[in-house]
Structures are given as C-alpha cells and as structure tokens.
C-alpha cells in the first residue's frame, strides 16, 4: 500500500476510533482524527512486527482501531492533566 493508501486507511481508522470513543477532545475533530491516524499506523505496525498477522490480513484493521483508541485515550489523559 502506498503512502496515500496509508493516509486514507489511517483516516478511516481514526474516524472509527473516534466513533468508538465519543467525547469532547481538546483539539477538536481534526486533531482527534490525526491522533487516530498515528495510532492506527502504530497499532498496525506493532501487530505485524510481533507476527500477529501478515500485511494484507483483515485483522490489521482491528489492531489499527485498537491502536487509534489507545492513542486517543493517551491524548485525552495528557491534555486533561494540563487543565488542572
């Protein structure tokens, strides 16, 4: 998959992660989706590195969503600490 494909895939996974983790985020929707893209790339890469699945296996989508949700959770935790 090329760079454009990864960006589109990450965008889709970022939106899915945001839908699965509703709530107000400090950076707004675009920042949240960007964090989701980073998490999707990280989760997908990590899953392939540890041998959980191959490059074109559909389970990669699930791992990418898990990565996106994890990064969104971390983003919220870090930005909330600065507010108090």
Query: What tens digit of pLDDT does each residue of 7-20 get?
Result: 777 778 878 877 88
Check residue 22 and give its pLDDT.
Answer: 75
Confidence of residue 64 (pLDDT cuts 50, 70, 90): confident
Query: What tens digit of pLDDT does each residue of 38-63 get?
Result: 877 787 778 778 887 777 777 677 88
* CA 39 vs CA 59, 77, 81, 83: distances in Å: 15, 15, 20, 23
Confidence of residue 72 (pLDDT cuts 50, 70, 90): confident
Q: What is the DSSP string of 6-53?
A: HHHHHHHHHHHHHHHS-S--TTHHHHHHHHHHHHHHHHHHHHHHTTSS
Q: List Cβ<8 Å contacts ≥24 apart for 24-33.
A: 25/72, 25/75, 25/76, 25/79, 26/76, 26/79, 26/80, 26/83, 27/75, 27/79, 32/72, 32/75
Mean pLDDT (the chain, rounded)? 76
Check residue 1 and give its pLDDT.
Answer: 57
């Amino acid at each position: 998959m090329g760079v454009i494909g990864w960006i589109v895939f990450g965008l889709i996974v970022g939106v899915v992660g945001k839908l699965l983790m509703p709530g107000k985020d400090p950076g707004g929707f675009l920042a949240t989706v960007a964090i989701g893209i980073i998490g999707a790339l990280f989760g997908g890469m990590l899953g392939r590195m540890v041998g959980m699945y191959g490059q074109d296996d559909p389970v990669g989508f699930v791992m990418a969503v898990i990565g996106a949700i994890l990064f969104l959770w971390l983003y919220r935790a870090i930005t909330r600490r600065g507010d108090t």
